[in-house]
Chains A and B, each alone.
Chain A
Amino acid sequence: MNGWILAATVVLAGGGAAVLWGVTSGPMSRRVVAQNLATSVACPALLLLAQGYDRPAYVDLALLMALLGPIGTLVFARLLAVDLAGDRPRAGRESPACRANDGNFASGPAAWGPTWAAAALGAGVVVAVCVATGPGRAMVKLLVTGALLIGGNVIASRALSGGFEGVRGG
């Protein structure tokens, strides 16, 4: 057990508890956000484990998870669009202009606090693992993984909060 594995354990335990709590309680909009959190917690944990066990193959798993997790959430956002809109009393039926007035499109039910917390966790883990890896192709791979992780989760959260209602067939 080294520091990386310990950190991965903490991330998995804390994140897993938050995910379990989220998916088993509250309205549907909250549960969908919580299931999205599962991949955004597991991906940094896999990066930490890859470093802790010195197995670069785990980075591939993290990369796939960072790519496929938000895609799955987008499918949920599309399939549950009607239910999610019903869960959205404040922002759902108002015009996009009202949402724009909020400045940071934070009016939907998709909690932006957890979203940015997960993004910060991912960024911190990627930076730490990059520092440990050193410059090279492996570091570029880590940076791509981190970009996919953070960008994907922000897009998924925005979709869940109704941010893409204007997209035709989106």
Chain B
Amino acid sequence: MTGRTAPRTTTRTVLLALGELLAWWTALALLWLVFITSVDTLERIVGASAAAAGALLARAGRRAVNWR
């Protein structure tokens, strides 16, 4: 979307990216918590990590689709 000119990494774009990642992370972490059988510390750590990786992938996928 904003790649027409030289990429300007303004504070706004960084904040938007962080916000999107946070939204994906929240949704994915909630899904993880819903899908597991027993909630304990290890599950929370693994779920948060997996949701972080998933958030990065989800944003990359969303951008790949929007840039067509």
Contacts and interface: CB of A to CB of B under 8 A. Distances in A.
Contacts of B68: 168-169
A137 B31 contact: no
Given A168-B68, A169-B68, A144 B31 contact: yes
- Size category of the binding interface on chain A: under 10
- Size category of the binding interface on chain B: under 10
Contacts, number: 13
A169 B66 CA distance: 12
Contacts of A144: 31, 34-35
**Minimum-distance CB pairs A-B, first 4:** A140-B34, A137-B34, A141-B34, A141-B35
A46 to B, nearest CB: 15
A26 B29 CA distance: 45
13 contacts: A56-B37, A60-B35, A63-B35, A137-B33, A137-B34, A140-B34, A141-B34, A141-B35, A144-B31, A144-B34, A144-B35, A168-B68, A169-B68
